[in-house]
Amino acid sequence: MAHDHHQHHGHHEAHGHTHTDLDWAEQGPMLEAQAELYTPAYEQALAWLAEEVPAPKLIVDAGSGPGVVACLFAQAFPQAHVVAVDGAGPLLERARERAEQQGLGDRFSILTGELPDVLGKLDRPVDLLWASRSLHHLGDQQAALTAFGEHLAPGGTLALLEGGLPARFLPRYIGIGRPGLQSRLTALEEEWFARMRAGLPGAVPETEDWPALLTAAGLRPTRTRSFLLDLPAPATDQARAHVATTLTRLRDAAPDDLTPEDRTTLDRLLDPTDPASVHHRPDVFLLDAYTIHTAVRPA
């Protein structure tokens, strides 16, 4: 998934408001379900990170949301302490509950506050800082990356998950409506994403050349790799639910941006009583790619 647009539901940022706990807290169940579905891709990514950072003592998940991935870190690095950091307190409570349920509570803590400044509350330098789809919610991404880098231990690693490919879950032609629906939705998402960024407090337009930004942050880029989530048809109920949630969000985010024909098609795709809906159709799949860039703080 190249981007996420959860916040567009309420158009908060588009109207110039800052991020609030409530907005993100509402996204908790969706973020949690998505991260659970994407766990096979995260597990591959974490194994790849472990090649570069075999024994981190302190791992920070900057913008962890409800903590599914932070808990995967705690499992993959059994000697590490993991701190889940987020602006949304209710999501961090979910993270803490999850860690406790998984028996990870003694190696897991939470830190609530605005990134990147809240990292100043850490009492130790960080060996592995993971920032997944959170940097693009900060107005000045270069300044935030520089601040992230300053909290790394010498030789510590920053792992940034940004970009990749837009998720696909329907064939080009689905037998109803105008062919190419999902590509048109992806184009609209790019527009919405640009509006979201422009509306962030202190927004700075920035070329999304992540290794270059990491270099400008005083770090040494080490590796870039993309991880595939490949759940072929027929989709599981969990994957269908994710597809339905995503399409609902896209349909409702900016209804006027869609043609009447595409809106009708989306209504059919989302109607559980319609055999052509994503709840029943046999051709639903989930194919997605996440890109991770790593960089090291010089010793």
- Contact between 31 and ligand SAM by CB under 6 A: the answer reads yes
- Contact between 133 and ligand SAM by CB under 6 A: the answer reads yes
- Contact between 246 and ligand SAM by CB under 6 A: the answer reads no
Among 2, 30, 35, 219, binds ligand SAM (CB under 6 A): 35
**Nearest to ligand SAM of 87, 156 (CB atom):** 87
Return the residues of window 207-236 that contact ligand SAM according to CB under 6 A.
none
Return the residues of window 70-129 that contact ligand SAM according to CB under 6 A.
86-88, 91, 114-115
**Nearest to ligand SAM of 19, 151 (CB atom):** 19
Q: Report the C-alpha dihedral over residues 45, 88, 24, 152, rounded to 10 degrees.
A: -30
- Contact between 192 and ligand SAM by CB under 6 A: the answer reads no
**Nearest to ligand SAM of 56, 65 (CB atom):** 65
CA nearest 224: which of 278, 268, 282, 158? 158
- Contact between 4 and ligand SAM by CB under 6 A: the answer reads yes
Cis peptide before 275 (omega within 30 of 0): no
**Nearest to ligand SAM of 25, 231 (CB atom):** 25
* Alpha-carbon span 103 to 173, nearest angstrom: 46
Query: What token pair was written down for 142?
Result: 């270069």
**Nearest to ligand SAM of 88, 231 (CB atom):** 88
Contact criterion met (CB below 8 Å) for 194 and 125: no
* Alpha-carbon span 227 to 69, nearest angstrom: 15
- Contact between 3 and ligand SAM by CB under 6 A: the answer reads no
Residues that bind ligand SAM (CB under 6 A): 4, 19, 24, 31, 35, 63-65, 86-88, 91, 114-115, 132-134, 137-138
